[in-house]
Amino acid sequence: MATNLDAILKKYAAQGTDTKNKVLGAAFVLTLSFFRHPLLRLSRPQPTLPLSAAFTPSSVTYIASMSKFPTSLRAMQLVERGLLSLDDDVRPHLPELASSLVLKGFQSDGTPILEPYDVPVTLRQLLSHTAGLGYDIPDEDLIRWAREVKHTAKSTGGTLQGLMFPMRFVPGETWSYGTAIEWVGIPIERITGKRLEEYMKEEIFDKLGMESSGFYLRRLLEGGSGKEERFVPIAIRDTNVLRALAGGEEGLITKESAELMVAPQLNKQQREELEKIVYGEEVTWLTPLLERKAEGPLDYGLAGMINLEDMEGRRRAGSMMWLGTAGSHWWIDPKAGVGGVRFATVFPWGDPVIRDLFVELERGVYEDLFHISK
């Protein structure tokens, strides 16, 4: 297996200064539910280019929206402890959401049309992106609203003010990818009395031996531990969590919570909106996410997107996946007991070479493990 997967990485890694349809470096980590430790770690660094640090499975990297997965995991820990509920109104912990309004459009003079809503906002909705929250960066209406009201904070700025955008729809009405998981971090801090990074370190990172994981790069690289030499602008592996959710033994959460995280959460209308955004004729910022129609019918769990049918030569029905804007990508297949992460960094978002590399690695895993081919 290692030889086959390494050959795929080699095919996509740049040789010398020729970078056309190549990546400067990539790493791949494979875990199985019946192995305590990652089964396989491979990388293809590109040391011949002066701006490219060596890329190994020990690299310290940027993971972007892949951080939503461990945030969901931390929320489920609080659900298990009775400190949060999936279906109770979360606004007592988030009064800022109670004052939020739904953006319905704009008047002829540009004035935003905002309406109140009278339904609860639940943790389940936040984790499954059905709470009505969006991102301002790809959303023309939210950008226009910010311009009209002179709201300068950005949703990617790491501040509470940056999250204070109007809702895109009444909570529970449909599906939209956005800042919902960022909001989830706030009640975690308020309930535990700890900053999210501190709680994350104590309850997840330290327990998994993830000593190179954190929120703030400068703080992370301090101390002379050699992390500076290992830093490349890419991603941090998290394979022990993947193993637990791929059907392995209990670890950071119970087996029941792990099964709940990978269970479909959307109703018919929400599923249709998700597939419209991903598969529709109109090009959206999520369009580069998948091979067109290759994933089949889709749903969303409490940590990522779920394919509802087997994918030919790849993951089984009921598998979950997500990725980060920098190009890193993970999947979990509970039926097969397999989880994998591919780390890479290529901008701009949606690079087709990075997507094709992920697909080939995934196919290689299933062909070698289960003799499944396309």
Confidence at residue 251, expressed as pLDDT on a 0 to 100 scale: 67
The helix, strand and coil proportions of the chain, stated in percent and rounded to the nearest 5, come to 35, 15, 50
Q: pLDDT (tens digit, 9 = 90+) per residue, 43-52?
A: 555 544 455 4
Q: Give the confidence band of 324 by pLDDT, cuts at 50, 70, 90.
A: confident
Please, are residues 24 and 52 in contact by the beta-carbon 8 Å criterion?
A: yes
Q: What CATH class has 2-61+232-370?
A: alpha beta
| Between residues 290 and 201, the one the model is more confident about | 201
Residue 238 has pLDDT above 50, yes or no: no
Strands lying side by side in the sheet with 305-307: 40-44, 26-32, 338-343, 329-333, 319-323, 305-307, 298-300
Give span(s): CATH 3.40.710, the chain.
2-61+232-370
pTM of the model: 0.80
DSSP letter assigned to residue 296: -
With CA atoms as reference, report the closest residue to 172 among 102, 121, 134, 136. Answer: 121
Lowest mean pLDDT among 78-82, 172-176, 254-258, 346-350: 346-350
| Between residues 37 and 366, the one the model is more confident about | 366
| Between residues 38 and 154, the one the model is more confident about | 154
Please, are residues 313 and 372 in contact by the beta-carbon 8 Å criterion?
A: yes
Name residue, tokens 């936040």. Answer: 126
